[in-house]
Structure 1
Amino acid sequence: MSVSGYTPSGPVGRVVHRAEEIFIALILGAMTLITFANVVLRYGFSESLLWGQEVVEILFAWLVLFGISYGFKVTAHLGVDAIVNMVGGGLKRGMAIIACLVCVAYAFLLLKGAYDFWAPFSNLNPTSGRWFPTGFEEARAQGYAVVRPVPIPFGKEFLENTFNWYMDGDTRVVEEYDYLPRVIPYLILPIGASLLLFRVVQATLGVVRGTRQRIITSHEAEDAVETAADKLARGEAVKKG
């Protein structure tokens, strides 16, 4: 499958690419089903899924944060390249590399912030240092925090034993969760930021090696639209033939 001119190479690349697309499709499907069920219950039976809206918002956040790295991989992000198109040759390539390095720095900072925000909810220590990690610093564990009124679909005992406990002297006390712990929905923060950093570094190496020209699609997606139109025209021609 090709998206925005992207074609996965090798068996591993194809499997990963397919898995990412399936994951995105599952999130979109779950959001649609939950919203549809809520509408039917509300207008047909005067009922509603109390946790429906919250779950849809969580899934939407997962979709966005996961989709950012996917967009870098398939060169689907839009960007303004008016100045870049005014120059040519080595200067254009140099500007593309500078843009890549800026994106790498931003993705790294985003990863640090994402981990530092998520860590207390998993009873881990966030990193110290304002811009770059210089170690770890102690923080108040917040593994007890939950997302109301979202229930725990499965793994309740595992989550309680892993995140919702404290030491009372020499005794390990495990408390019960009434709702889904925040560590689960917030997990997309370090995962999404890690994938973003990986894909940006991957795109930067592609620009340096000359296998791709930029990390964004053309201004106003003109090239993408033209490519899609050409493919559509070829498909219609094949059907008519």
Structure 2
Amino acid sequence: MRLPVAACLLLFAATAHAQGSDDTQPPSFDRPGIGFSTDTVPRGALALELGLPSLARDRDTDGVLSTQYSSDITLRMGLAERLELQAFATPWNRLQLRPRGGPTHTERGAGDAGLALKFALPTGSDRHSVALLASSTFATGDRDFSEGGTQYALGASYEYTFNDRWSGALYANAVRGAGADEFTWSPSLSVALTDTVSSYVELGFTDSDGDPSTAIAGAGVTWMLRPRVQLDASFDVGLDNASPDLQAGLGVSFYFD
């Protein structure tokens, strides 16, 4: 019970801090969704993004049903104009394996952690925006929740604003290291439903060396509970047998300056 209590205390403290802030519009948060926003945190400001938690469920070809719950945390720190540093981790995971006709096996532990630099490229246009994200993930997690080695990734996100309500994005990311080479790309479409509620739909495609390609589709919603506090909910479903059956999550994000 220690983790839920600590999470509740952190949520309460952060919400109280955010409520006491002015109404300056924060940059877009990176969660939820497959990709990331093209905004960066201003110099000296912070953004804290938490998964509360996420769920992944899949049944493999042998009939084993795996259900994993994971918490994730990302801290974004503004270093300069258009440049931010990110620190991220998955400090809590719970994996349940249930074979057909067999006993259920459960594992718990921490996942890997890493650092990233995000840079927003100047475009000279209010409609177009582009950002790059270079990251390294280190094998700091427990055996069942670690990639087993350092991984390096380079991602890019492009966003186009159609009007005051609609926008589209295209995301791509390449990962290398820990015996894996992987490339993911994802188009998405977002709409502002009200001044505080937005929704999106997305597709995601991943090619991995030595593994079948996967395809998923999903949607999500965000709600600005306060000017600097965002709640989110999202899900993705697999479009083929090689893809995870279901991925879903709830989250909360805070902005401080």
TM-score by length of 1: 0.22
Bigger radius of gyration: 1
Which structure shows the higher helix fraction?
Answer: 1
> 1 or 2 for the larger relative contact order (CA 8 Å, sep ≥6)?
1
